[in-house]
Chain A
């Protein structure tokens, strides 16, 4: 079993839809949770960064962390064709290594 599970999709939605992306994890030591967006032939770009449980909102993006269920989510409101990319969840237990554990990534296509 992988430490972080993420449905690879692909996920296809019409423009303006609300998108929900999810990851589950098994390591209860994880404390830092991130979402990255990766366009084709580019490196991952940090979207959201949260510590421990709770919600965080940034514009059209909302990240949720439920440590009791070992479940994190990213919601995208009013999705745009420019949101079409692969979304990677990542997490870390902190400590001194800076090691992130990534999910497989979910490919999202927003159709005009």
Chain B
């Protein structure tokens, strides 16, 4: 069974730039969620995708956007990067269904983004 994989592992960007982070779901999982984890904090929910549609969103501005592809892989895009966007970005997959949450999330090792 292949786990959740994320790329790249580390990234350095300049304020104002745009970034794309990638995630491959654990095999058999059709739901992908993205989380932001600041240093010393717990992860914060950005959004979830199910069957290529956004299925829930946390308190993040529209410059955070995403995509899910037919093979259930996913991208997180962040435009107009700010210094506070520096964090570990985690992707998690689950075998969820749209109307219920009964499957735990399995996380990748994340992408460490530094904005200078």
Contacts and interface: CB of A to CB of B under 8 A. Distances in A.
Given A88-B42, A98-B101, A44 B55 contact: no
Given A43-B110, A46-B106, A94 B101 contact: yes
Given A6-B42, A8-B40, A94-B100, A99 B107 contact: no
A27 to B, nearest CB: 14
B44 A102 contact: yes
Contacts of A104: 40-42
Contacts of A98: 31, 33, 48, 50, 55-56, 94, 96, 101, 105
B98 A99 contact: no
Contacts, number: 76
Interface string B100-116: 11101111111000000
B4 interface: yes
A82 B67 CA distance: 37
A34 B42 CA distance: 13
Contact of A95 (B41, B43, B94, B101): B101
8 contacts: A43-B90, A45-B107, A46-B105, A88-B42, A96-B56, A97-B48, A99-B56, A101-B45
Given A32-B102, A43-B110, A97-B57, 17 more contacts: A4-B42, A6-B42, A43-B108, A43-B109, A44-B107, A45-B107, A88-B42, A88-B43, A90-B42, A95-B100, A96-B55, A96-B100, A97-B48, A98-B105, A100-B35, A100-B105, A104-B40
